[in-house]
Structure 1
Amino acid sequence: MKNIIVLLVCTLISYGIHSQSIIGAWENYTTAENGDKLKNVVIFTDGNNVLTTYSATTGKFMHSHGGSWKLNCDRITEKIEFDTTNSERVGTELTYKVIISDTTIEIVGNNQKLNRLDNGKPGKLQGAWLMSGRIRDGETQLRDTSRPRKTMKILSGTRFQWIAYNTEKKQFMGTGGGTYTTINNEYTENIEFFSRDDSKAGLSLTFNYELIDGNWNHKGFSSKGDPIHEIWSLRD
């Protein structure tokens, strides 16, 4: 009977936390040793998350880690798929206690509180997406999204981030992110950080987008000016 009561309490707590919309984007600010103001942004989608730190003034990329997550009572467990600072954490799990309100997430014991940026709206592409193909010269080239080498794009209602990584080799290849909008079938990225080239911070890129059979068709020009036509599929 006691176990049933505990299970019921945990279920109610979990439902309460979800009803308070952990899904979305959250932020706080910290200060680096050199006095630089750092911006920390966390995006939670249904089952996937990413945390990134970068300079709030220059856009210089500092750190990112993420993967999948699950909730048990008031504890979140993350399974790390990529970590730009410590690759040995890939494949391990990290559990921490949280207190979630409508406007904040407090990480208990870590003296950290994140403020809500959005609740998964208004952007129409909220979710975690895996690159599943490209169209070149009219020919569709599909890729297996279950392989260890992945390119994931994770979006809240206003924030986006892409990450290229390999879980088998515990390898990180690159990431970039910022804010986005979806207006009149145009998807616009406003880049705030780019791990491969800090000078890309401040750049805005606009693409045509279309959802076809649930897949996101993404067409335009890359930050290098190269034409692209990508296909992205929602992550299971």
Structure 2
Amino acid sequence: MKTLLIIPLLFFSICVFAQDLEGAWKLTHINGDPVKDKECIKIYQDGYFAYGNKEISNNHFLGAGGGTYMTEGEDSYVETFDFNTLDPKKIGTSTQYTQSFVDKKMVLYYTKKGKNMIEIWEKISDRDDDLNGTWVITGRKRDGEINTMTPGARRTIKILGGGRFQWIAFNSETKEFSGTGGGTYNAEKGKYTENIEFFSRDDSRVGASLGFDYAVKNGAWHHSGLSSKGDPIYEIWSNYRKAYLDKLNKE
């Protein structure tokens, strides 16, 4: 059955066409087997990607990874990890895939421990809004004053695309992972709502919704409301490429 499922995909993948990666994707098959017992959602936005995995039966967090990506030529696709909870040794390294598209499905071919692998991802949304992007936290208000911070090896980012969000706190030098969470969101008329679908620190938070006020001022996302613990927050998030990647490349 697996062979019958893979062969048509291999045949149709010859008809490769360019497709925009930005948005949200769901892993549906690995080597012909449907992915049933877990959910893996991957977001692409502004040259960055992040994914989170959970068990479907009990919402238990399984792992997360992400970093920068690039395409080379017609079918070469490369990921470079900033964080990877399942295999920290991959942090700072690059993995190359052969990539093709069938309708709204992305097929990735690669080798793992000497075994040929095929993953099939289905695009679930490419919804766009004024918060779509990859962001890094650069400021917090405390006691009425804004305290700014410069992103370094230790940083917290949030990626939003296709109606999905994921935040990640990590240190790319020490390979320390502090936490992640994600799910769906809505952003409209200055109101931002997160619907939590996975949370590495506490599975019981899955299903909760948090509402905030937001505004984009001079390209920065101002985010205010109450945290999951009920504490007041006011955060400033900046464009990740401008605030971190471009400065890193100049060093």
Alignment TM-score, normalising by the size of structure 1: 0.86
Distance 1:103 1:30, change over 3 A: closer
Amino acid at match of 2:209: S
Superimposed CA distance per residue, residues 102-142 of structure 1 (whole angstroms, 9 cap, x where no aligned partner): 411111252221111112x2332111100011011220101
Contact 2:99 2:107 in 1 (8 A): yes
Residue 146 of structure 2: aligned partner: 140
Report the RMSD for the aligned CA atoms in angstroms. Answer: 2.0
Distance 1:19 1:212, change over 3 A: farther
Q: 1:14-163, aligned counterparts within 5 Å?
A: 20-29=19-28, 37-73=37-73, 74-108=75-109, 109-119=116-126, 121-145=127-151, 147-163=152-168
Contact 1:42 1:51 in 2 (8 A): yes
- Structure 1 unaligned regions, length at least 5: 1-16
Query: What percent identity do the matched residue pairs reach?
Result: 39
Deviation at 1:167, TM superposition (A): 0.7
2:174 match: secondary structure: coil
Superimposed CA distance per residue, residues 141-181 of structure 1 (whole angstroms, 9 cap, x where no aligned partner): 01102x10010101112100000000110111000000001
Deviation at 1:94, TM superposition (A): 0.9
Deviation at 1:78, TM superposition (A): 1.0
Deviation at 1:19, TM superposition (A): 5.0
2:173 match: secondary structure: coil
Matched, 1:177 2:178: no
| Moved beyond 4 Å, runs of 4+ | none
Alignment TM-score, normalising by the size of structure 2: 0.81
1:110 match: secondary structure: strand
2:117 match: secondary structure: coil
Rounded to whole Å, the distance in 1 between the matches of 2:187 and 2:204 is 24
